Amino acid sequence: MLQLTEGFHTYFAGLGKGQFSFFKKLAYSCFTTLRWFLLYDEEVNQLDSHEWHKLIMVHHWPATVCKEVKDHCKDPPDYWTIHGLWPDKSEGCNRSWHFNPEEIKDLLSDMRMYWPDLLHSSPNRSLHLWKHEWEKHGTCAAQLEALNSQKKYFGKSLDLSKELALNSTLQKLGITPSTYYQISDIKDALVSVYGVVPKVQCLPKQGDEEVQLLAQIEVCFSKDLQLQNCMEPGEPAPRGPEARPAASLGLEICKDGVLFYPALNKTNH
């Protein structure tokens, strides 16, 4: 190695001024090209980190959500409401694309009805939830032309929720609050209507509670907004971090066995 280094020094020392200038420019060009490739590779990796494969339409049950947060709810509705429309493997794709309520002013009536914020009690409480959902999930869903604006994202979410008609679907299936169910019976009933396998989340049993509580139902869509399985038939429920998504802190994929579908106790709110 020492002999090779000395050889290079000897070689460059013997170069004329013009020749040395040529090699200096060549070295600079190589360095610039290498730097460009490294920056490009970093940009590609960032784009890859925002790649996703399916959309998850998430509804949650207010009675369980309020119990999860120790009844810190303000006038929760007694029907399933939208939690969000989430790309499955990506979050916060454009942190400079801020939520602007003016863009969804035509949707506000439906938004307040079907997508309320259960946890915040300020007069404009739902803006907090909608801002969070847009900046964390909507900016990633916006990769699709059908969802590439705030009005499109929230409008299409409302449309998908109405198409699923989760509240009336559960009622028609005879799945009603204040009742114990086998988790398999609920999933099978939903499959019989939607034709795809949903994901059902529960609030784990706590303290002296006997069973887990039904909390959240997720129905998945492909990138062309067609229903698809959230979980393949027979696929084991995930464990660990995947079973507890950050957006549903405290919830987990329902364990096989019995769950309770609680009624909303309005006397506590």
Catalytic residue among 60, 135, 137, 252: 137
| Active-site residue flag, 53 | no
Measured torsion, CA atoms of residues 157, 241, 90, 152, in degrees rounded to the nearest 10 = 10
Active-site annotation holds for 103: no
83 is catalytic: yes
Two structure tokens written together for 209: 């509670």
Report the alpha-carbon distance of residue 121 to residue 104 in Å, rounded: 21
CA 212 to chain centre: 23
- From 59, 60, 133, 218, active-site residue: 133
Query: Are residues 136 and 117 in contact, defined by beta-carbon separation less than 8 angstroms?
Result: no
User: Pick from 112, 149, 156, 152: which is nearest to 130 by CA?
Assistant: 112
Q: Which of 59, 60, 68, 83 is catalytic?
A: 83
Cα separation of 84 and 145, whole Å? 18
Which among 214, 189, 211, 191 has a CA at the least distance from the CA of 201? 214
Catalytic positions: 83, 133, 137
